[in-house]
Amino acid sequence: MKADKKTVLIEVKRYVIITLALFVMAFGWTAFLIPNHVLGGGVSGIATLIFYATGISTGISVFVINAILVLISLKVLGPSFGIKTVYSIVMVSLFMSFLQHYLTEPMMLYQTDPNAAGAIKPFVEEKILAAILGGGLAGLSIGVAFTQGGSTGGTDIIAMMVCKYRNISQGRVILLIDIIIISCSYFVIENDKIQAIIYGFVVMGVCSYCIDLVLTGNKQSVQAFIFTTKPQEMADHIANQMHRGVTLINGTGWYTKHEGSILMVVAHKRESQQILRIVKEIDPQAFMTMNTVMGAYGKGFEQIKR
């Protein structure tokens, strides 16, 4: 019974975090990007193009486009989308509609008539700053939603369908789609067309960087190889001070023909400076290499997930 209650609380917490993340994402678009005529990629970018061309709310377009993609993917890929994806699509559509009505439209009204009733001055009027803030908020929130099992669907669905029939990576498909979407702003935005495309690519870059920062930034690990004449003392310090495992590897220097021990240590990236400090204290003459590893799994690191 306690286990079931704990599971329910964990799921509720995940949905709360996903909801807050999606709200921040919608805020980034409606408060910074759309009012300043700065475009990003994904379904939100398509919805923004539709809004500029027709005036249809981005929330409605996001929902309709995602719904069509999900229905098509059910036939092509099968029922591979969980309830969190559907929930995320519905919530981001509602947030986009709500915030656009109370933020985007009054801000755009201010740009045409500052004295009009209900007009609101934009939070940021510099387009490059708007691109960085909007893209950053969108990327961070998408990354947080991903960590909780959420997904905004969109171009990811298109990428999965393309990859089923073509030997191409999903990342490359998504990148190509985003480039096409941003480039289409040339035909929709009236003024500063080239600048709009450039700002769109800035949004895409900032958003991608922030997603990677959330998903892998805190999980990055390093692998160090230490060549020292004091292997046992150094291994004891690393094990006792850092509580990290150390592996001793027997090796022979080809130039000197001297046999010795090589220490191999895997630790979190934030612990790399502590390894360097220990090495310097124990053996300043030690030779050391350190590189970033793609992933570290097991005790003390990430769990292996199916």
76-101 tens-digit pLDDT: 766 656 688 888 889 999 999 999 99
C-alpha count within 13 angstroms, C-beta hemisphere, residue 251: 17
Res 299 pLDDT > 80: no
Question: In whole angstroms, how large is the CA radius of gyration of the chain?
Answer: 25
Q: Is the pLDDT of residue 40 over 70?
A: yes
For residue 20, what pLDDT band results from cuts at 50, 70 and 90? very high
What is the C-alpha separation between 263 and 292, in angstroms, rounded? 16
Give pLDDT, residue 155. 78
DSSP category for residue 294: S
Contact 156, 65 (CB under 8 A): no
**Residue at 48: amino acid letter:** T
With contact defined as beta carbons under 8 Å apart, do 111 and 178 qualify?
no
Q: Among 21-25, 51-55, 256-260, which is the least confidently predicted range? A: 256-260
Whether the CA torsion 124, 127, 130, 132 is positive or negative: it is negative
Average model confidence (pLDDT) across the chain: 86
Neighbouring CB atoms inside 10 A of 224's CB total 21
Query: How far are the Cα atoms of 46, 110, 256 from residue 93, in angstroms, in the given order?
Result: 13, 24, 67
Give the tens place of pLDDT for each residue, 195-216: 999 999 999 999 888 887 887 7
266-273 mean pLDDT:
85
The pair phi, psi for residue 20, each rounded to 5°, is -65, -40
* Tokens read off for 109: 């009204």
Residue 2 clears pLDDT 60, i.e. is over it: no
Confidence (pLDDT) at 270? 78
From start to end of the chain, where are the E strands?
Answer: 221-227, 246-252, 259-268, 287-293
Predicted local confidence at residue 273, as pLDDT? 86
Check if the beta carbon of residue 289 is closer than 8 Å to that of residue 275.
no
Structure confidence by residue, pLDDT tens digits, 213-255: 887 765 678 899 999 989 999 999 999 888 888 999 998 888 8
Instruction: Tell which residue, 228, 203, 208, has the closest CA to residue 289.
Output: 228
Tokens (6 digits) for 209: 């960087």
Structure tokens at 301: 């690191």
Structural domains in the chain, sorted by start: 2-216 (no CATH), 221-293 (3.30.70.120)
Angle at 122 between CA 116 and CA 127, to 5 degrees: 130
Per residue in 102-152, pLDDT (tens digit) is 999 999 999 888 989 889 999 998 999 999 999 999 999 988 888 787 777
Q: Which of the pair, 155 or 261, is modelled with greater confidence?
A: 261
